[in-house]
Every structure is written in structure tokens, then in C-alpha cells.
Amino acid sequence: MRTVLEKYIPEHSVDICFELIKLHQVHLKIVNERVTRHGDYRKGVSGKHEITVNTSLNKYRFLITLIHEISHLVAFEKYGRNIKPHGDEWKITFQRLMVPFIRPEIFPNQLLPLLARHFRNPKASSDTDATLSLALKQFDPENDKNYVFEIPYGSVFRIHNGKIFKKIAIRSKRFECLEISSGRTYLFNPNAEVELLPS
């Protein structure tokens, strides 16, 4: 397991993660990318703690996702299964488990203040923290995707499932986009990755 972890997370985080996985008897599976989530935790029918993390994540996002999922396991074990998945108990657990990792040997200096801010009140997904998500994206391999917030109003774009939208307005912190085929309006997070189509 240690040698597997070395491929996916920063070098100085491997020992701490390995100990957490051993301590909580985690069965870790690294899986092909799922668009809707970076990772997942569930207690299998056999009683095993199963965590999956997407193989496509850069090493910093992979580490955050792994600790996010281990935090679900630890929070359920400590507080019971009736807690909200991303409620206060999970937030406290996630904060506590992340503390040993938020240091310059593990994360680049430019990420540290953003992580410190994010972990004052962690969200259900680091993707909903647009500033942190954008900062983490710079460590991804190059791709031809844009964030919704980057493209001009009136632009037409395609999402992962092939549906085509036009960016029309901003509402609070999200962008209103019109689905071309149905005429229905949907709200997009600013940092949703999309493929810009020629106008």
C-alpha cells in the first residue's frame, strides 16, 4: 500500500496516510475518473471500510480527497451513522485529520494560506471553494477545458455528458446557463469545467 500511495500523494504525506489507512482498516481503491465526484466512502456488506479515489486527480487534490473520505469513516465511527454526511461532526473530524498535512513539506507555499482558510469551515467538496479549486487546477495536466466563470456571457459550451448550454447571467455566486435543446435554465458553479464551442 505504501508504494501505491507514493505514486498518488506528496512524498512527505505518505507515512501519515499509510498509518491512517492501517489504523482504520481502510480498503482503498483507486478508480477511473467519475465526473460527479473525486472520491467515495462506504461500509461494505462485509463490514469493510471501502474508500475509492479517482486516479486522475493531481497529488494535492488526491490527498485532500483521501483525507475527506477517511474523515467520513472516522466521524461515523465516533458520532454514529445518524450524523449528516457533511455536518459539524464531519467538519471537525476533517479539520483535525488535515492539520498534520498543512505544511510546506507537503503543499506548495501558494496553497497553504488557501488551505488554512478553507479548513476554517470545510465544504462538502473543495470544488465549491472556487479560489482553492482554481489554485489546485494549476497542478493538473494541461487540458482544453475552461471554467464557466472564465468564458464570456453568450458563449456556448458542452459539458461531460454532451449537453450544450449557453451562459446567460449570474445569480448570487452561480452562473445561469440555458440548455440549448430543452430551453431549461440550470445553475453552474463558477469553477465547473466545460468545453467552449466555436460561436
Cell of 101: 498535512
Q: Do domains 2-137 and 146-196 have the same CATH topology?
A: no
Judge contact between 5 and 11, C-beta under 8 A: no
pLDDT confidence bin for 53, thresholds 50/70/90 = very high
E strand segments, 9-48? 26-31, 39-43
pTM of the prediction? 0.83
- Mean pLDDT, residues 103-124: 95
- Mean pLDDT, residues 83-111: 96
Condensed to tens digits (0 to 9), the pLDDT of residues 146-197 reads 889 889 999 999 998 899 999 999 988 889 999 999 999 999 988 888 999 9
| CATH annotation of 146-196 | 2.30.30
Integer angstrom CA distances of residue 84 from 37, 57, 119: 18, 26, 18
Sheet holding 26-31, edge to edge: 26-31, 49-54, 39-43
Q: 97: Cβ–Cβ under 8 A, 6 or more apart, which residues?
A: 20, 67, 70, 71, 74
Indicate whether 199 pLDDT > 80: no
Q: Are strands 26-31 and 49-54 parallel, antiparallel or unpaired?
A: parallel
Cα separation, 61 vs 176, in Å, equals 27
Q: 29: Cβ–Cβ under 8 A, 6 or more apart, which residues?
A: 50, 51, 52, 53
Condensed to tens digits (0 to 9), the pLDDT of residues 117-128 reads 999 999 888 877
Q: How is domain 2-137 classified at the architecture level of CATH?
A: 2-Layer Sandwich (3.30)
| Domain extents in the chain | 2-137, 146-196
Q: For residue 102, which of 30, 35, 16, 20 has the smallest C-alpha distance?
A: 16
Strand-pairing partners, residue 176, are 169, 187
Q: Hey, how many other C-beta atoms are within 10 angstroms of the C-beta on 36?
A: 5
Strand-pairing partners, residue 34, are 37
Indicate whether 89 pLDDT > 90: yes
The residue written with cell numbers 482503498 in the block is 28
Indicate whether 75 pLDDT > 90: yes
Indicate whether 36 pLDDT > 80: no
- Mean pLDDT, residues 105-126: 93
Indicate whether 34 pLDDT > 80: no
- Mean pLDDT, residues 68-90: 95
Q: For residue 41, which of 90, 114, 98 has the smallest C-alpha distance?
A: 90
Q: Hey, how many other C-beta atoms are within 10 angstroms of the C-beta on 100?
A: 13
Cell of 32: 477511473
